[in-house]
Structure 1
Amino acid sequence: MTISTPPLRKAARAVVLDDEERILLLRYDENGGFWATPGGSLEDGEDHATAVLRELREELGIDEEAVELGAQLAERSKDHLVGGREVRQVEKYFLTRTPAASVDPAGATQPDNIREHRWWTLADLRTTTDTVYPLGLADLVTEVLEHGAPVRPVVLAE
């Protein structure tokens, strides 16, 4: 019996903080509904940092001039369906900072299935009963705000 591994899908995601240290999350309806950080798969020849900036522009209309791109904070691997096909997605999460006013959904070129965006406080994140990805996001952001970016990216649970 041969066990096949799903094809690899590299992705870049942004942990976006505004001037008030709030976290930007996007709401999707699929899989029972959930909130997640902005981001998506890398295009051919693209590195993770470039993909983060492109995804913020495509999904939220954020001009890259308004983004301060920081260190890679974390990584997560997860098998899931994309377009009806199972993939092994390996996501790298980068700290990004931008003013809340730079978010311009009307300027988004590829809003995908995003239902809404919202800025969350750490207290909101810790007390919500909604599903939020990645798991452990509140702890990760707390660590970054208290101690700065980790020396090595944290490995997040699926």
Structure 2
Amino acid sequence: MTPPPLREAARVIALDNDQRVLLLRYDENGGFWATPGGSLEDGEDHATAALRELHEELGADEKAVDLGVQLAERSKDHLVGGHEVRQVERYFLAHIAPADVDLAQATQPDNIRAHRWWTLAELRATSETVYPLGLADLIAAVADGRTPERPVVLTG
């Protein structure tokens, strides 16, 4: 059996000054919340893709985003446009103020149904599906000043 094609992606764990994380709501696959991000374009590095995706999905100005270190990575097979791919995602920490998110300026909102800033307590208490699995633990570590020395490998 041939493995699915590789799809490189950059995702952003966007925190505000109150350590709330910005998640996007999608309806497919029973509905879920996820971090902003998407696939790399030809010749693009992961950090550049992360900033581009914040602009395309949320209308955020790159100058307003403090893009930090890569916190995590994840590999997952899933459908994109009806075709199975092996998506390899790198998750970057970013700080952004809610006022710097301007959905009216979003150029590619894809299938985003809503966006919401979540507290760590809300994230831990929700029964809704949130990707990536382990996101709350990563945010708690960052809030406690424990940024991982190497990217954490997420499994789900």
Q: Which TM-score bucket, shorter chain as reference?
A: over 0.9
Q: Which amino acid is the alignment partner of residue 78 of structure 1?
A: K
Q: Take 2:67 and 2:152, find their aligned partners in 1: how far apart are those partners?
A: 18
Q: Which residue of 2 aligns with 1:75?
A: 73
1:25 to 17, 23, 26: 23
Amino acid at match of 1:76: R
Long gaps (5+) in structure 2 = none
Q: SS at 2:57's partner residue?
A: helix
Q: Which residue pairs with 1:57 in the alignment? A: 55
The Cα shift of 1:145 comes to 1.5
**1:157 offset after TM fit, Å?**
1.1
* Distance (whole Å) between structure 1 residues aligned to residue 6 and residue 147 of structure 2: 27
Identity %: 72
Determine the C-alpha separation between the residues in 1 that align with 2:38 and 2:95: 18
Inter-partner Cα distance in structure 1 for 2:38 and 2:139: 20
Q: Which residue of 2 aligns with 1:97?
A: 95
For 1:1-150, list aligned pairs within 5 A: 3-150=1-148
AA at the equivalent of 2:63? E
The CA deviation string for residues 87-137 of structure 1, in whole angstroms up to 9 with x for no partner, is 000000000001111011110000000000000000000000000000010
CA RMSD, 1 decimal? 0.6
Q: Quick one: which amino acid aligns to residue 28 of structure 2?
A: E
Q: Deviations over 1:5-41 (max 9, x none)?
A: 0000000000000011100000000000000000000
Question: TM-score if structure 2 supplies the norm length?
Answer: 0.99
Q: Residues of 1 paired with 2:136 and 2:46: CA distance?
A: 22
Which residue does 1:154 correspond to in 2?
152
For the residues of structure 1 that align with 2:152 and 2:72, how far apart are their CA atoms?
4
Query: Which consecutive residues of structure 1, in runs of 5 or more, have no partner in the other structure?
Result: none
Corresponding letter in the other structure for 1:139: D
- Deviation >3 Å, runs of 4+: none
SS in 2 for 1:49: helix
Cα distance, 1:147 vs structure 2: 3.0
CA distance in 1, matches of 2:86, 2:132: 15
Residues in 2 aligned to 1:82 and 1:118: alpha-carbon distance in whole angstroms: 24
Number of matched pairs: 156
Q: What is the TM-score with the length of structure 1 in the denominator?
A: 0.97
The answer to whether the Cα contact below 8 Å between 1:19 and 1:100 also exists between their aligned partners in 2 is no
